Amino acid sequence: MRLWSLDPALLDRRGLVACWREALLAQKVLQGLTVGYKNHPQLDRFRDQDDPVASVGAYLAGLANEADSRGYSFNRSLIVESVGSPQKIAVTQSQLTLEAAVLLEKVKDRDADWYKDLTSLRAAVKGGSSEDIEAHPLFDVVVGDVEPWEKATAPPSTT
């Protein structure tokens, strides 16, 4: 499961669709409607919120907004409605840099044209300037190390 902290606009088509599916699964897990994935570390940041389901709903809405901007049709009726508005979730600059490197490595192999369009992201990762990496609208970027729930390590090269 990969629930990207990155701005959904950075995700290639396959990445955006996969993230949508995985976030829908996360929503079911947080509702207690699944048997598996209950202890997945990427869910910790949502569980730590006052209303975890509202938080993952806001995450899904951000993905759906990006899908809309590309002319895709994600079924928004699958997003569980929430009464309150979720608070922003902190994500570290180091986490964003790591995720950007992971994304670049994936996109390099599966969508060369998209990879070429990510020039500024490649430059930010190569130069270590994480403040130039945009986060998903749900997240508030803060200074810090890679998040404790992260299991990935940076790929060897993103050039």
SS3 21: helix
Residues 42 and 105 in one domain: no
Residue whose entry in the numeric block shows the structure tokens 């994304």: 103
Q: How many domains does the chain have?
A: 2
At residue 156 the predicted structure's pLDDT band, cuts being 50, 70 and 90, is low
Q: Cα separation of 132 and 124, whole Å?
A: 6
In a domain, 156, yes or no: no
**Closest among 115, 100, 105 to 158, alpha carbons compared:** 105
**Closest among 17, 18, 49 to 139, alpha carbons compared:** 49
Residues 106 and 129 in one domain: yes
At residue 27 the predicted structure's pLDDT band, cuts being 50, 70 and 90, is very high
Could you give the C-alpha distances from 55 to 80, 123, 138, in angstroms and in order? 10, 31, 8
Residues 46 and 105 in one domain: no
In the chain, the percentage of residues whose pLDDT exceeds 70 is 96
Residue whose entry in the numeric block shows the structure tokens 């990155």: 6
What is the tens place of the pLDDT at every residue in 51-67? 999 999 999 999 999 99
At residue 157 the predicted structure's pLDDT band, cuts being 50, 70 and 90, is low
Residues 66 and 24 in one domain: yes
Residue whose entry in the numeric block shows the structure tokens 């975890």: 52
Instruction: Report the pLDDT value the prediction gives residue 155, as an integer from 0 to 100.
Output: 66
The parent domain of residue 113 ranges over 90-142
In a domain, 120, yes or no: yes
Mean pLDDT along residues 117-130: 88
